[in-house]
Structure 1
């Protein structure tokens, strides 16, 4: 485990999913771009990468507002199709090695949760293919709360389920929205991006 990723004095660990535990960025982008293409949208990966802390529905709503779009179908249907496309690639999604080392080192020592703005069904299906699939005590997703990140609700519910005070939780995140949510929850947060970025 990299020393900078080691938790300090934490009663529980909360891990974001996409981009933190797993390297799903390109698969997520491809699925979203494919769903939006029939709507006449050319989705730039740079635009997508800058908003990875948002749920798929929130991302589409931001895109609709920014570009004054009129989708041919409700956002919920676009998201459902995006999820189906992503699931065809779920078996190929791999963990981020440095974060995997944290999970393996801390398994059995403190309670751990996946706390993600993603959809439960998508995460559960992808988790099935991961080497750490049995390591987590609970899974909290966007489906479990009223507000997604950057609101703190997902992290607060995860802490509640693990019977831990928020101030004693450490969050692992890879997005500005997620880091904002963790801080709003009163939790320690570790930005994993320096350790998960693709290296030449």
Structure 2
């Protein structure tokens, strides 16, 4: 485990999913870009990468506001199609090795949860393909709270389920929105990006 990723004085660990536990960025981008293309919208990967802390629905709504778009289908339908496209690649999603080492080292020592702005069904399906599939005590998703990140609701709900005070939780995150959410929850946060960044893929 890298020293910068080692938790200190934590009674529980909360892990974001996409980009933190798993390297799903490109698969997520391809699924979102494909769905928006059916609406005649071109999604640049740079735009997508800058907003990875948002849920799919919030990302589409942000795009609509920024570009004054009028889409033919409701946001919920687009998100459902995006999820279906992503699930076709779920088996190929791999963990971030550096964060995997943290999960394996701390398993059985402190309670751990996945706390993500993603959809429960998508995470559960992808999680079952991961080497740490049995390592977490609970899963909290965007489906379980009223507000997604950068609101603190997801992390606070996870702490509640683990019966740990927020101040005693350490969060692992890879987005500005997630870091803001963790800090708003009064939790310690570790930014994994210096250890998980991958080189851009050609053709993206």
TM band (smaller chain): over 0.9
Corresponding position of 1:45 = 45
* Normalised TM-score (structure 1): 0.99
State how far apart, in whole Å, the 2-side matches of 1:40 and 1:48 are.
Answer: 16
2:74 aligned residue: 74
Q: Which residue of 2 aligns with 1:103?
A: 103
Q: Residues 124-149 of structure 1, C-alpha deviation per residue, up to 9 Å, x if partnerless?
A: 00001000000000000000000000
**2-structure distance, mates of 1:164, 1:196:** 28
Distance in 1 separating the partners of 2:61 and 2:109: 40
Alignment pair present for 1:83 and 2:83:
yes
The equivalences for 1:81-160 within 5 A come to 81-160=81-160
Say whether 1:174 aligns with 2:168: no
Structure 2: distance between partners of 1:100 and 1:50 = 24
- Aligned partner of 2:63 in structure 1 is 63
Tell me the secondary structure at the aligned position of residue 95 of structure 1: coil
SS at match of 1:32: helix
> 1:24 Cα shift?
0.1
Cα offsets for 1:38-85 (capped at 9, x unmatched): 111110000000000000000000000101101100000000000000
Aligned counterparts of 2:157 and 2:65: Cα–Cα separation in 1: 30
For the residues of structure 2 that align with 1:179 and 1:91, how far apart are their CA atoms? 28
Cα distance between partner residues in 2 of 1:197 and 1:143: 27
Q: Which whole-Å CA distance do the structure 2 matches of 1:4 and 1:163 have between them?
A: 26
Equivalent-residue separation in structure 2 for 1:150 and 1:168 (angstroms): 20
Structure 2 Cα separation of the partners of residues 26 and 82 of structure 1 = 13
- Structure 2 unmatched runs, 5+: none
After TM superposition, the structure 1 = structure 2 runs for residues 178-193 of structure 1, keeping only pairs within 5 Å, are: 178-193=178-193
Q: In 2, Cα distance between the equivalents of 1:199 and 1:108?
A: 33
Give aligned pairs, total: 200
Write out the 4+ residue segments of structure 1 that deviate beyond 4 Å after TM superposition: none
Q: Quote the Cα distance in structure 1 between the aligned partners of 2:141 and 2:168.
A: 21
Instruction: Give the CA deviation at 1:199.
Output: 5.6
TM-score of the superposed pair, with normalisation by structure 2: 0.97
